Amino acid sequence: MIHALLSAWDWLLSLTGANFEGGRVYGFWSGFAGSNIAMLGGIWLYLRHSNCIKQRCWRVGRHKTAAGHPVCKHHNPELRGRSGLSGDEIDAAHEAAKARK
């Protein structure tokens, strides 16, 4: 009876790949941790690519300067220290963009 249980346990371990020598550590790194590290690396690359161009600024660069640099709201020369554009400024920018077309 005990022998049958042990062999069933061995069979289960062999299915999960955990009974290889050092298998638990290897399984951990190749499975769970490996994919998480790859995912974190992807997130890091995305943030690095999309964040504000100002040195050591960690914010997402959602605004473009006139020169085309992606910057955050705090480092955009036209939005600095403000919560956004006024209605008149939005209207003026809209009309100016239409005139350029």
Contact positions toward Zn ion, by CB under 5 A? 52, 54, 57, 59, 72, 75
3 state SS of 17: coil
Least separation in angstroms between residue 24's CB and Zn ion is 44
**Side-chain-side CA neighbours of residue 40 (13 Å):** 6
Give the sign of the dihedral formed by CA 93, CA 94, CA 95, CA 98: positive
Least separation in angstroms between residue 43's CB and Zn ion is 19
Nearer to Zn ion, 54 or 69 (CB): 54
Distance from C-alpha of 58 to C-alpha of 50, rounded to nearest angstrom: 10
Least separation in angstroms between residue 55's CB and Zn ion is 9
Nearer to Zn ion, 84 or 87 (CB): 84
